[in-house]
Amino acid sequence: MKARLVEFGLVEINGKTYDYDVLIERGRISRRRKKASKPQRDRYGHTPLTTAEPLPWHCHRLIVGTGAEGRLPVAPDVIEEARRRGVELLVLPTSEACARLSDADLDETAAVIHVTC
């Protein structure tokens, strides 16, 4: 899967451009549903990634792209849940996350890609 951060707010995956956060699981791309994490926005200054929202846990490795400037907060419950499930968690700025995703085995790797901040 070829992925790259085009610019702030845009990511390109396999030739298609997305202007919203995406989840990638087993090669399927879907929109990130972050509504359940919004109640923690005031605590972090931004809607964080939390286990309250559906995350792609059916993997050995979960790549989290934290935005163009790496500012997406990842709540401690995500880190703990990854540890509990035995999932390797890679939290990287989106450009680096896309590079890792481009080289990844999609049978073993899932991703959450944040396109702004």
Average pLDDT, the chain: 97
Give the per-residue pLDDT at 73. Answer: 98
101 within 8 A of 92, measured Cβ to Cβ: no
Task: Find, among 113, 61, 96, 108, the residue nearest to 82 by Cα.
Answer: 61
3-114 folds as Hypothetical Protein Mth938; Chain: A, (3.40.1230)
Q: In sequence order, which ranges of the chain are alpha helices (DSSP H)?
A: 41-44, 76-85, 94-102
pLDDT for 113 equals 98
- The secondary structure of residue 60, as a DSSP letter, is S
**What's the pTM?**
0.96
The pLDDT of residue 6: 97
Q: How confident is the model at residue 108 (pLDDT cuts 50, 70, 90)?
A: very high
pLDDT tens, residue by residue, 84-103: 999 999 999 999 999 999 99
Alpha-carbon radius of gyration of the chain: 13
Q: What would the two tokens of residue 110 be?
A: 């899932």
**Which two structure tokens, joined as six digits, stand for 62?**
């979960």
Which residue ranges make up each domain of the chain?
3-114
Residues ≥6 apart with Cβ < 8 Å to 71: 46, 117
Q: Alpha-carbon distance 34 to 101, whole Å?
A: 21
